[in-house]
């Protein structure tokens, strides 16, 4: 176990709980591990998977994180694959064949892919050593981020057999959610390992204020080093970053509406210290490995303790003193309560949005099953004159009901494949000097163009051939119109995966009881957060840890409440 860790990662020892979790998995037992953010969850399944014959199936909801983990494994000479929304049928087909016949150790799969017949048929032929469920709280309807696609994991387990151990991982789960996770994953015996929620180096400070900008400046001025400021809206991220820059602080905003290249540039500048502060929506932070974050400041209240604990925990992963600062006032709480109500549009509105989505995508009744298409909520909302937030929350509710899955923004490069033989292509080239030069450039830069779709880089082709990128795209489209090749443009958008054909209105099941239950649970989680925020008579940490089931937590001695009581 330790030898595997040293050989592949160069570490001389495990972090707390890692060895115990790995030991349970190697003993063939199902295990649910609750490890706080930054606890090193990936080591808990990557080490045992490398110690056993076969391939490890990893279910993860975050495409960007899947890609990062696959890349990190490859950099350590550990072969890994991934299957997710936006890939062509042939790309998925080849990837799954490689998982069966290649020398690969890890196959990452996004949850909406689990239900496909192609995946399930190939899975039967794989030698699976472990089934890993990342972000395991997503399988529980009691949890704060329920995703119905996770329920398909039960079918996966039936295919691979109950003898294959399950390693389920999450950073936050209440006792009720933990029991639900183990039940839904078909644990042969309940087996829960929980890390210590206490972070000795992290001080929680809650500030009630009507002057948040002033307080934020004080935070930036009194705590040296890099930080993250979390806000609720994209516009707020842009405005606050601009304000901090006006005060001489190197700050950038970050949110899902920025182009991928801009997000990558901003991340890199922050990681290297060129940018000191990132002001972001909750789109930022998942999978970001920067241990020396000295503070995380919540400018706006998050809507759950689970979300707050995860985001605050991104400070001080290096073990050095760090701060989690939360700024709040009464209007924040009123806004949050209103936001929860907004997140549950009336059922009649949700039913209308269901039909409008299929109309927007061009599917008639009884069409659309298993389609995976680009879908931008803002564009859809403008087309049907629906408020963007109403459209978004309606789409998300229908996802919770299991009708479709809306993925995060997917970045997939353009792809081409020639549809004529080399001889035919050669004859065509002779008749046109521009076509001849362009085709020769493609053939020099890429192999396999006659047998499969090949990912291409438009900008790289443009540089090599001294074209404008727009000219390259137009030339590819021209060859496609002449049926000489197939051209799939790059995708940089959220993807909507439809699980069923379009239903007539009377067959669309959205029970009022389910709606009321989901709304009630959402309100309960909000009120749990409000209670911790408003209760300044008991240690903040004790309150939070009790929510997560750690009843015997001692006062931390460092939060704003403890410091006031000890002064």
Three-state DSSP class for 353? Answer: helix
CA 22 to chain centre: 24
Give residue 89's pLDDT band: very low, low, confident or very high (50, 70, 90). confident
Say if CB 104 and CB 98 are below 8 A apart: yes
- Measured from the Cβ of residue 447, the count of other Cβ atoms closer than 10 Å reads 9
Copy the structure tokens of residue 38: 């930054």
- Measured from the Cβ of residue 446, the count of other Cβ atoms closer than 10 Å reads 14
Of residues 259 and 450, the one with the higher pLDDT is: 450
pLDDT in tens, 391-422: 999 999 999 999 999 887 667 788 999 998 88
Report the C-alpha gap between 396 and 405 in whole angstroms.
Answer: 8
Say if CB 273 and CB 226 are below 8 A apart: yes
User: Rounded to whole angstroms, what are the CA distances from 460 to 321, 443, 469?
Assistant: 45, 14, 9
pLDDT in tens, 124-151: 999 999 999 999 999 998 878 888 899 9
Say if CB 254 and CB 284 are below 8 A apart: yes
Which range is least confidently modeled, 43-52, 450-459, 507-516?
450-459
- Measured from the Cβ of residue 527, the count of other Cβ atoms closer than 10 Å reads 12
Q: Can you give 217-264 as a three-state secondary structure string?
A: HHHHHHCCCEEEEECCCHHHHHHHHHHHHHCCCCEEEECCCCCHHHHH
Q: Is the pLDDT of residue 38 over 70?
A: no
Closest to 141 in 3D by CA, of 517, 457, 471: 517
Mean pLDDT, the chain, whole residue set:
91
pLDDT in tens, 466-510: 999 889 999 999 999 988 899 988 877 788 999 999 999 999 999
Q: Is the pLDDT of residue 257 over 90?
A: no
Report the C-alpha gap between 198 and 214 in whole angstroms.
Answer: 30
pLDDT of residue 211: 96
Q: What percent of the chain has pLDDT over 70?
A: 97
Residues 6+ apart with CB under 8 A from 215: 207, 209, 327
Three-state DSSP class for 412? Answer: strand
Closest to 45 in 3D by CA, of 112, 132, 105: 132
CA 52 to chain centre: 28
Q: Is the pLDDT of residue 543 over 90?
A: yes
Q: Is the pLDDT of residue 287 over 60?
A: no
pLDDT of residue 432: 75
Which range is least confidently modeled, 68-72, 118-122, 294-298?
68-72
Give residue 430's pLDDT band: very low, low, confident or very high (50, 70, 90). low
Which range is least confidently modeled, 115-119, 210-214, 537-541?
115-119
pTM: 0.81
Give residue 379's pLDDT band: very low, low, confident or very high (50, 70, 90). very high
User: Rounded to whole angstroms, what are the CA distances from 320 to 22, 24, 73, 230, 260?
Assistant: 27, 31, 28, 21, 32
Copy the structure tokens of residue 197: 């929620």
Say if CB 313 and CB 37 are below 8 A apart: yes
Q: Is the pLDDT of residue 84 over 90?
A: no
Q: Is the pLDDT of residue 561 over 60?
A: yes
Give residue 285's pLDDT band: very low, low, confident or very high (50, 70, 90). low
pLDDT in tens, 303-361: 899 989 989 989 998 889 999 999 999 999 999 999 898 999 999 999 999 999 999 99
Q: Taking residues 170-175, report their average pLDDT.
A: 89
* H or E segment to which residue 310 belongs: helix 305-312
Report the C-alpha gap between 234 and 280 in whole angstroms.
Answer: 7
pLDDT of residue 286: 60
Alpha carbon distance, N-terminus to C-terminus of the chain = 47
Say if CB 83 and CB 119 are below 8 A apart: yes
């Amino acid at each position: 176990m330790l030898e595997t860790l040293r050989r592949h990662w160069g570490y001389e020892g495990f972090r707390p709980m890692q060895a115990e979790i790995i030991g349970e998995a190697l003993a063939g037992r199902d295990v649910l591990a609750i490890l706080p953010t930054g606890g090193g969850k990936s080591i808990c399944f990557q080490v045992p998977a490398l110690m056993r014959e076969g391939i490890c199936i990893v279910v993860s909801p975050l495409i960007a994180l899947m890609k990062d983990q696959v890349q990190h494994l490859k950099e350590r000479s550990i072969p890994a694959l991934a299957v997710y929304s936006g890939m062509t049928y042939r790309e998925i087909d080849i990837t799954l064949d490689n998982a069966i016949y290649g020398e690969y150790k890890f196959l990452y799969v996004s949850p909406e892919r689990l239900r496909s017949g192609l995946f399930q048929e190939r899975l039967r032929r794989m030698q699976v050593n472990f089934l890993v469920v990342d972000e395991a709280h997503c399988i529980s309807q009691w949890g704060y981020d329920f995703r119905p696609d996770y329920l398909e994991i039960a079918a996966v387990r039936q295919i691979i057999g109950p003898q294959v151990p399950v390693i389920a991982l999450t950073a936050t789960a209440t006792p009720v959610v933990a029991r639900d996770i183990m039940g839904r994953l078909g644990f042969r015996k309940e087996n829960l390992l929980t890390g210590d929620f206490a972070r000795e180096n992290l001080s929680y400070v809650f500030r009630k204020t009507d002057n948040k900008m002033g307080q934020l400046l004080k935070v930036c001025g009194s705590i040296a080093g890099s930080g993250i400021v979390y806000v609720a809206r994209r516009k707020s991220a842009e405005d606050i970053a601009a304000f901090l820059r006006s005060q001489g602080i190197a700050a950038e905003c970050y949110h899902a509406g920025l182009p991928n290249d801009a997000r990558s540039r901003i991340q890199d500048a922050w990681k290297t210290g060129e940018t000191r502060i990132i002001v972001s929506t909750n789109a930022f932070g998942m999978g970001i490995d920067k241990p020396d974050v000295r503070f995380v400041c919540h400018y706006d209240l998050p809507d759950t303790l689970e979300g707050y604990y995860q985001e605050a925990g991104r400070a001080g992963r290096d073990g050095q003193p760090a701060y989690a600062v939360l700024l709040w006032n009464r209007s924040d709480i009123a806004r949050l309560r209103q936001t929860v109500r907004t997140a549950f549009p009336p059922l009649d509105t949700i039913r209308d949005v269901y039909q409008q989505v299929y109309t927007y995508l061009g599917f008639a009744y009884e069409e659309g099953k298993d389609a995976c298409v680009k879908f931008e909520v803002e564009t859809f909302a403008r087309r049907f004159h629906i408020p963007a937030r109403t459209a978004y929350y309606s789409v998300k509710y229908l996802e919770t009901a299991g009708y479709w899955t809306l993925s995060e923004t997917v970045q997939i490069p353009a792809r081409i494949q020639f549809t004529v033989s080399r001889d035919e292509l050669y004859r065509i080239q002779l008749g046109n000097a521009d076509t001849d030069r362009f085709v020769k450039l493609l053939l020099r830069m890429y192999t396999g163009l006659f047998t499969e779709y090949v990912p291409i880089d438009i900008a790289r082709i443009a540089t090599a051939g001294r074209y404008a990128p727009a000219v390259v795209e137009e030339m590819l489209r021209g060859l496609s119109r002449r049926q000489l090749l197939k051209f799939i443009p790059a995708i940089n958008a959220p993807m909507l995966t439809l699980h069923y054909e379009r239903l007539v209105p009377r067959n669309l099941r959205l029970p009022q009881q389910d709606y009321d239950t989901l709304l009630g649970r959402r309100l309960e989680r909000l009120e749990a957060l409000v209670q911790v925020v408003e209760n300044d008579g008991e240690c903040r940490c004790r309150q939070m840890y009790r929510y997560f089931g750690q009843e015997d937590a001692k006062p931390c001695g460092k939060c704003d409440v403890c410091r006031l009581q000890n002064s």
